[in-house]
Amino acid sequence: SGDVSLEGASFGECTADEEGGAMYVGTSGDVSLEGASVVRCTTSQAALFLTGIGRLALTNSQFVDNIASQAPAALFFTSRIAAIDSILRNTSFLRNSAPGNITILAASPLTWDCPLGSWMPNVGQIEGGLSGCNRKCAEGHYGSASDHSTSDCSGPCWSGHFCPEGSVLPQKCPAGTHMPNRRAANISDCFLCAPGQYQPESGREECLPCAAGSFSPNVGSATCEACPKGGVCEDAGAASRLVWQACPAGSFNPNRGSRSSAACELCPIGTASAALGSVSRKTCEPCEPGHFAATPGLAKCERCEPGTTSGVGSSACSECAAGTYTANTGQGECTRCPHPLSSGSGDITCSFCKEGFYLQNATAVPDDIFRFPTDYCKLCPPNANCATSNTTLETLGIPR
């Protein structure tokens, strides 16, 4: 009725007509066997027969070539106490023989100390040969402890992870994938992120939509591609660069990943650009002479009105000086009036006589004066006052 403890015990070539060809223990205290060897024993049932004992500790032992006429061949165990801390550790059972090929029969809980990722049943019968624990945790589950007694082991694999058979801990689904469910068994069970989505981290339940300013055309993306220069991508979750919208004429965008039309920079005043989707300010060309751009963001420079002109890159036109003119729009420089005509500031033609000459016929139309200036403008006579331009016969100022 006391405890039994043996270390390094060896049982070989034993023969018994009843239970326990090597050792029988009944109605006792705890039993501890360390480094035991039970080899080629013949018995009616179980080379080691333990019934109605306390706790069992069977470690670093071996049962080899034992024969029993009734199952099991190697070990029979029942405990008289409601305990779950009986343990079997690092013990092998090889080539033992009994009906049904049953090697072990545990009628009471017998906990196996297993490598992580494996398990053994703690009650019932175990068939065949084994060296330690021979059952792996089921796929879709993991085993992070050494005392599992069912194939579920520590429990189902976590979401965002996968667990092949015999897993110690769940493994993370890789970047570019996700797993919203538990119990995934293989890396192939991890769902690839759909186009328009991405996942930069491993072990995640869900994929993320690409932010505005980016897109993802492929499955399984860990990152989204930045929207190209010269335009914007305003939609989130874009699966194609077709969402890209070119910056309008008169603007440009030198940056990637833009998500708003505000990213398109306007060409400055004095310049214009007719091109769509420009990526550089270099496309904003200065206005040609005779043209101007008074506001930013123009696709085309405007023409200067008659009587005005401008230089390169102008934001406004200026009036032609007195004695010059422009008759047409968009002229790059003012033309000097033909002799002996003159004009006022901002005039579109030369329609009166310059200083030192007078208009002989005040009723003449401007076009005729311009075409035949010497017919209408005459040299100022002696003692007359032609000190200013636009002198006529009536204002000639001849002294009386």
Q: Write the pLDDT tens digit of every residue in 163-204.
A: 999 999 999 999 999 999 999 999 999 999 999 999 999 999
pLDDT at 214: 97
**CA quadruple 175, 181, 185, 190: dihedral sign:** negative
Residue 338 pLDDT exceeds 60: yes
Q: What pTM was estimated for this model as a whole?
A: 0.73
pLDDT digit string (tens) for 116-135?
999 999 999 999 999 999 99
CA separation, residue 20 to residues 44, 87, 167 (Å): 8, 20, 38
pLDDT digit string (tens) for 1-38?
689 999 999 999 999 989 999 999 998 899 999 999 99
C-beta separation of 20 from 49 below 8 A: yes
CA distance 114 to 148: 8
Question: What average pLDDT does this structure show over 297-323?
Answer: 97
The helices-and-strands tally (H runs, E runs) of the chain is 2, 46
Confidence at 398, pLDDT banded by 50, 70, 90: low
Question: What average pLDDT does this structure show over 63-87?
Answer: 93
Non-local CB neighbours of 94 within 8 Å, separated by 6+ positions: 62, 63, 64, 65, 129, 131
pLDDT at 185: 98
Confidence at 111, pLDDT banded by 50, 70, 90: very high
CA distance 181 to 161: 9
pLDDT at 252: 97
Confidence at 394, pLDDT banded by 50, 70, 90: confident
Query: Phi and psi for 196 in degrees, rounded to 5?
Result: 90, 0
C-beta separation of 303 from 291 below 8 A: yes
At residue 109, what is the residue type?
P
pLDDT at 1: 61
pLDDT at 400: 47
pLDDT digit string (tens) for 204-224?
999 999 999 999 999 999 999
Pairing of strands 118-119, 37-39: unpaired
